[in-house]
Structures are given as structure tokens and as C-alpha cells.
Amino acid sequence: MRKVKVLLVEDEAIVAKHMKILIEKAGHDVVSIVSKGEEAVKKAEEIKPDIILMDIQLKGKMNGIEAAETINNLFHVPVVFATAHSDENHLEKAGLVHPYGYLVKPIHERDLLITLKMALHSSKLDAEKREIQDKLLAKEEQLQLTLNSLDDFLFSFDKNGILIDYYKPKHSSFFNLPETGIGISYKEVLPPEMSKKAEEALDNFKPGISIQHFEFMQLEGETEYWFDVKISSRIRNNNEYDGITGLVREISSRKQIEKILIKAKKQAEIAIENKIDFIADMSQELKIAFNEIMGFIHVIENQTLTNLNDEQKECFTLMKEKINSLLLMIDDVQQLSDAGNGAVKLIEGKDDSTHKKRLNRYKQFGKVGKFLPPDMESLLGALEEIIELNSKTSDI
């Protein structure tokens, strides 16, 4: 067992020697003996004793009470006073520095041992208490730093709806609580919509879950301010319901971005719809024109069939093949246009690659053929664009 280190502060040498004998007889260690208050403070810092036995009346500028106060503030070393005076005035002055005991001279061995033992025990409890307090202060400081970094408004109400704690961001102009806000009703703290939700939360307690989650808007002049609110139940360690806690986060910037995105989406949808409608109308017009041309070719072919040579017959055949290919392409354009408008779906089991292959065939046809109608170049470009639009439309 470690010996207790005792600093003895006594200006009478005989008394000091007697007290040293008693202390060492009890198994403790007198690490130093000094006779002045200033020396006591210096030794307390140097040797860090476990306890100090100090005479109240010391010679020099600093008496025992003043020295004990300085040591207590700087080093938290327990001090037991030894005095030849037991009058009320001396005891009252000594009590101001919170000593761990008193010994009245002449000091008896039993009194000394009991007082030292009780002082050391009390000092140990106080040290543990200071350690706990320091940890709590450190946690409180960390919590405050965390709260200071948030832009959220936090509040807690007891089960009767009385405000017991809150945190409000310094820069926020909302929820202007009075300095004496603690102890007032939720109806005086929260805006009407939030107040109604808080009342529902208090009346419909469900442990362990967020019982209210909603958004609300507040107007200041012509400016909209949006908030996201979560209200949850407060549960003690014994599972006892203790009220509600709420978190309010301003989401005005997010709402503005959402509005911009919604507007952009609508504009994109209108642009795509107009483009698809235009291509559909153009395709229909071209289909009618090509069908009329095909009809004229048949009429001419039937009227002159007997007079045509092989080269002319091949020319008629080539013209019909080209027109049929163009009509197939126009059908594709119309089908993709209808799919873009949501009227029909593309052929089951086929994707846009099928139509892209057919488009490449039309382009090849335009290269080897002897002619390509003026509008067909734009129609081919439109078909390419519709194929791309069709694959994107469902994602917009």
C-alpha cells in the first residue's frame, strides 16, 4: 500500500516534531516541514502532497487560511487546519476556504488519524467529482460546437407541451423566442401549422419513431421560406415517455431548385412534343405525296407497258422500289412519332437499333439511287433525331 505524502506547515518546531512522529507512526510519510505560508504554496507545487496539515496562525505575510485558499485554487490539495483557537471567529474565517477538517491543539493521536483518514476520503470523492464535471463540461463544449455548426432549429417540450430546451441558429430570423422562452407553451413558440403537428405528436405518442415529418411554407413579405420538420418522441432510459423533440431545417434553396427543374422539365416536354408533332405532320404529307406518285407510275406503266423496252421497264421497277422504301421509312417515322407521344409502343422485342439499321439502309439507298427528293435529307435527319428522342423521352 502506497504511503500517504503529508506536507506539514507549522511554525513551532516542537509541535511540528510531535505531529511528524504521530503521522509517521500511523504509516504515513511527512515529505516536508515548512513554517511560512509562502513556502507552503511553493512546496505544494513542487512535491504535490496527498494532504497538507496546516497551522492557521503562521509567521510572515501569508497566514494559514490565505495559503490554504491559494493551494486549493491552484492545486486542489486537501488541507486540514491545526489551531490553538476554537473560537467562532477563527472557525468562520477558516470555513471560507473549505478545509477538509480541523484539529485543535494540543493534537491527540486518535483525533489526528481519524481526521486525516476522513480528509483523504473526502478529497478522493471530490477529485472523482471534478473529473466527472470536467468530462461533462468537455462534452457540453463539444455539443455546443456541433450545434453552432448547424443551421437547424431544435426544440424540446415536456409531455405537457412546455418548452424545456431549444437551440436557435444565431443568423436565423425565425422563431424569435423571448429570453425567458423556457417554460412557455408550444403554442407560443411554434407557427400555427407546426403547433398543430406538435399537438398531434403530444396526443398520439408512439415510442421510438419519428411521429411527424412534414414541410411547411412561411411568407415574409413576398418571399417564401420553406422548412422541413421532424418531430419525435422523447423517451427516458426507463422507457417512460417524456415529451417531444423537434428539428426544423430551412429548405428554401432546395425548393427553388426544384421549381427550376420542374419548369425546365415542362419546357423540354413541350419542345419534344412540338418537334414530334411537326415530324408526324411532315411524314403524313410526304406519305400522301409518294402514294400519289406511285399511282401515277402505275398508270403510266400500264398505258405504255407494251411499248417499253427492258431498260425502261427496269427504270419503272427501280422507281417503285425506291418509293416503297421511302414509304417504309415514313411508316417508321410515324411509328416513332406515335411512340414519342405515348400513343403506341415500339415493336415488342425490338429496340431502337432495329430502326437505326433501317435508317442506314435508307441512306445507302439514297447514295446508289439516281435521285433523292429534296425533303428526304431533312426527313432522314429528323428520323435520327426521333430515334434519340424516343430513347430519352421516358427518362424526362
Structure confidence by residue, pLDDT tens digits, 321-341: 888 887 887 777 777 666 655
Evaluate whether 233 touches 279 at the Cβ level (below 8 Å).
no
Which residues, 6+ apart, have CB-to-CB distance to 266 below 8 Å?
none
pLDDT at position 261, please? 92
pLDDT value of residue 318: 84
Describe the crossing of helices 64-75 and 37-47 by its angle, rounded to 10 degrees.
Answer: 20
Closest C-alpha to 223, from 188, 253, 191 = 253
CATH number at residue 229: 3.30.450.20
Decide if 229 contacts 216 (C-beta within 8 A): yes
N residues, the chain: 396
Same domain? 75 vs 138: yes
Give the pLDDT score at 204. 72
If one counts the domains in the chain, the total is: 3
Positive or negative, the CA dihedral 158, 202, 188, 212 is positive
Residues 273 and 165 in one domain: no
Q: Are both 182 and 299 inside the same structural domain?
A: no
The sign of the dihedral angle between the CA atoms of 328, 333, 334, 335 is: positive
Instruction: Give me the torsion for CA of 216, 219, 223, 224, rounded to 10°.
Output: 10
The model's pLDDT over 247-302, given as tens digits with 9 standing for 90+, comes to: 888 888 899 999 999 999 999 888 888 877 887 787 788 878 778 877 777 777 77
Q: Are residues 84 and 106 in the same domain?
A: yes
What is the CATH classification number for the domain harbouring 102?
3.40.50.2300
Q: Domain range spanning residue 196?
A: 153-250
Edge-to-edge strands, sheet with 163-167: 163-167, 153-157, 241-250, 223-235, 210-220
235 and 281: one domain? Answer: no
Question: Residues 164, 192: one domain?
Answer: yes
pLDDT, residue 275, reads: 79
Does 246 lie in the same domain as 261?
Answer: no
pLDDT of 129 strictly over 80 = yes
End-to-end Cα spacing for the chain: 79
* pLDDT computed for residue 310 by the predictor: 79
Whether the bond into 373 is cis, omega within 30 of 0 = no
> How does DSSP classify residue 306?
G
* 83 and 129 together in one domain: yes
DSSP one-letter code for 162: B
**Assigned C-alpha cell, 223:** 418571399
Structural Rg of the chain based on CA atoms: 48
CA distance 13 to 342: 109
User: Global pTM?
Assistant: 0.49
Categorize the per-residue pLDDT at 64 as very low, low, confident or very high, splitting at 50, 70 and 90. very high
The reply to whether 162 and 133 lie within a common domain is: no
Task: For residues 369 and 322, give the distance between their C-alpha atoms in angstroms, rounded to a whole number.
Answer: 8
